[in-house]
Structure 1
């Protein structure tokens, strides 16, 4: 069944259509949140919370973007709210075992754990989010601004400055590897 038909049916109360929509997008959303949060437990929690929001707000989906983009927008805002409220990232950085657990999980899921992903983990979420959305998922700057609910210029600045920080981090890692 075509996604648009499922959406229309879900908006009219068809629980099966809604369940299929969420199931079709679960893996995509979870992988996105794993990269954004760098924390498997937090990614799982946010995925579940996003799914609940989608269930609650399905009637508000207007079709202006892809359904998966709508879900990413919800997930992104939930993550940003949580980061502002609880300052989870600062505590996570103190708990390096979560980082090692994520590395282990990704390696066992046959996903590449690249130096770039490791360097991304060092960045604050304010820079990591727009970089992932732009360069990994291919969203346009204006789409990212909407998803993150920040001005377009801020998105461009964060992508530019975040990439500068990434390059610096990767260059330092390369020099350390050459010396060590």
Structure 2
């Protein structure tokens, strides 16, 4: 069965089709959430929560966007909700960031961004998420705006700001290490 058939069957209550569909997208979803959270444990929790939401809401999927985009939307919103809940307390201490970086590097969780991770961590979530969606996953500004429930102009501004900040940090790092 192709993906559209799996979705139709899952929406009709076929548990096997739903299972196949979610298993197919699990690695992609977890990889995305790992990039935006930079925390393997949180990424795993959010991946599981996203899959649960997808199971609960599979009949709401309308096919306007790719199924993977629908999952990214759910996962992004869950992460944003998580951040809102934690907003009154400091999310990460410097020690936790260092531990997370070491675990990331030790586990080779994302081999395609090795040196860039440290610089990427300098960005706040509101800038890092749109940047990753745009430049790593190739979503359009309009799609990102839809995923994050913000205006397209805001997405463009955040991606531009994040890109400039990364360039600045990257150049500063190269000058101090060189």
For normalisation by structure 1, the TM-score amounts to: 0.93
Going by fraction, where is helix more abundant, 1 or 2?
Answer: 1
- The Cα shift of 1:89 comes to 9.4
| 2: CA distance, partners of 1:51 / 1:30 | 10
Counterparts in 2 of 1:1-180, with a 5 A limit?
1-87=1-87, 90-94=90-94, 95=96, 96-106=98-108, 111-178=111-178
Runs (5+) with no aligned partner, structure 2:
none
| 2: CA distance, partners of 1:145 / 1:6 | 28
| 1: CA distance, partners of 2:89 / 2:161 | 19
RMSD over equivalenced CA pairs, Å: 1.6
- The Cα shift of 1:119 comes to 1.1
Distance 1:38 1:90, change over 3 A: farther
* 8 Å contact kept, 1:50–1:78: yes
The alignment of Structure 1 onto Structure 2 pairs a total of residues equal to: 176
Distance 1:51 1:4, change over 3 A: same
| 2: CA distance, partners of 1:42 / 1:149 | 22
| 2: CA distance, partners of 1:69 / 1:89 | 30
* 8 Å contact kept, 2:141–2:156: yes
Runs (5+) with no aligned partner, structure 1:
none
| 2: CA distance, partners of 1:142 / 1:46 | 24
* 8 Å contact kept, 1:7–1:21: yes
* 8 Å contact kept, 2:104–2:110: no
Q: Which moved more, 1:84-93 or 1:113-122?
A: 84-93
